[in-house]
Amino acid sequence: MDPYKFEMKGRAFDGSDRLDKVAAGLTALQHVFDGQFRALTDKKRLSDQDRRLLQVRIERYEDGSFIAILGSIYTGVQTVLPFLQGTPNVWEATKNAFDFLVAIFQAAHRGESVAVSQNGDGNTVVIAGDSHQVFNGPVYQIGTQIIGAVREFDELLEGDEVQAVALKGPDETPVLELTSDTKGLFLPPTRVDETPVKLSCDIYDFNKYENVGKARVPVDQAIPPGNYRFKNVGDQAVEDFILSMTEAQVSLLCLIKYQHDPLSENKIAEILVMGIAA
């Protein structure tokens, strides 16, 4: 049996367990395993055969917190995974990848520019401010594949209700661990440019219940061309956005929300729309 366990601690698990937290936690855990597999096999999606090999099996629970002792989850998989340069197994590689994510997002929240490069020996170098860190193994490949799952864990954190989420190995050594006092660490910091800009674009999607949509921005605009999410923050009627989807081009008066995500080339988080005209 693999000596690994998944645990969540907090009042949500006193006496009985909140089903929403348990279900979301186990789903995110599966997404960690899926991300590991995609990163190490260079596959974009898992086949049915991969799913049969890669199964999370919980052998027993322990009281006090939600603690699931994980069974033999990589039976048959280790033989098809490639050699992990610089790391003896997938778990150490994942721990290194999580440490890599912590380092780059801490730097991002400090407002430092982050440069990530991979040298010839398979290691990854992170330069942030005056610091220079080297991480062993395929940390960038695994980190980019599991960041979605890590953010799902972050979403679970809720003060004293869910204080900590962790995947631990032998001798209680954390592979990854998140605590509620650092909630939001893995979300890229954002800032809003308070100078309004005008954009001519094509609105091709709008959710009237959430007042958000998507717009396609062409070339020669105030921001690079591409597809962007937007949010209606003005007093514009919902009907105006719905009707705008029948127009080839509309004009938006908006603010731009920028993000500092060291894992993404897209520096714009979303467009904040204050007004719209055909």
Fill in the DSSP letter of residue 16. S
DSSP string of 161-172? TB-EEEEE-GGG
Residues 101-132 have pLDDT tens digits of 999 999 999 999 898 988 767 788 899 988 89
- The architecture (CATH level 2) of 190-277 comes to Beta Barrel (2.40)
Q: Which residue numbers in the chain have pLDDT < 70?
A: 1-3, 50-57, 59, 62-64, 71-88, 120
Give domain limits for the chain: 4-182, 190-277
**What pLDDT score was predicted for residue 89?**
73
Number of neighbours of residue 15 by Cβ within 10 angstroms: 6
**What pLDDT score was predicted for residue 30?**
85
**What pLDDT score was predicted for residue 73?**
52
With 0.75 as the threshold, say if the pTM is over it: yes
Q: Residue 111 is encoded by which pair of tokens?
A: 């407002």
C-alpha 258/C-alpha 268 separation (Å) is 4
Beta strands 268-277 and 226-232, pairing class: parallel
